[in-house]
Amino acid sequence: MNHGRRQLIRGLVVGAAGSALGGLACAHQVAGRLDPPLAPPALSVRWQDGSQRQLADVLEGRVTALQMMFTTCSATCPIQGALFASLRDRLGAARPDVQLISLSLEPLVDTPKALSEWLKRHGEGRGRWLAGSPDIRALNAWVDFLKSAQPGPDRHTGQVYLFDRRGRLALRTVDFPAPEQVLGMLDGLARLR
């Protein structure tokens, strides 16, 4: 089966599931729009350039797609990296107010150097896509806030979390959303002032 046909079938399945659940299609986690959007808990992050900044400061003023990952993952995270690479390429220069953020679930392993190398593996070098390792003491609270915790020791997911310009969590996708779906959500959030 060719790639285009697979994408079409996948899109139809995701769309049908979303319609059947009233727009809140779920895989393992909670997905859909948050009304009202939620302000996240404080989270200090060490970024790929070595700087330490609060996530709220990085989110403020921009529409953000955020994913949870770790650089040594060989299953879910490469797919997530490919999704964000596709989003970055499709966004181009048209939407400078939109950013992508990958946050690590393994902050003790994911040093700034490891995060930088992970971004480079996915072709990032333009600054639209950031990667960071959260303060390990706040990681569980952060994952609970996102409601992305899988049962058992593996806490990562294929969901994308979308934040509005005020830095509030506004939308959660299903696992492994199609790039077009995420772009549509980002575009909708970017139009809001």
The pTM is what? 0.83
Domains of the chain are 27-191 (3.40.30.10)
Task: State the pLDDT at residue 28.
Answer: 46
The one-digit pLDDT tens for each residue of the chain (193 residues) are 444 444 433 343 334 333 333 333 333 458 999 999 999 999 999 999 999 999 999 999 999 999 999 999 998 999 999 999 999 999 888 788 999 999 999 999 999 999 999 999 998 866 789 999 999 999 999 999 998 655 555 567 899 999 999 999 999 999 999 999 999 999 999 998 7
- All residues at 6 or more sequence positions from 59 whose CB lies less than 8 Å from its CB, including other chains: 40, 163, 167
Q: How far apart are the C-alpha atoms of 58 and 20, rounded to whole Å?
A: 36
What single string gives the DSSP state of each residue in 29-89? Answer: S--EEEEEEEPPPP-EEEETTS-EEEHHHHHTTSEEEEEEE-TT-SSHHHHHHHHHHHHHH
| Nearest Cα to Cα of residue 80 among 95, 89, 70 | 70
pLDDT score recorded for residue 5: 43
- What is residue 147's predicted lDDT score, i.e. its pLDDT? 82
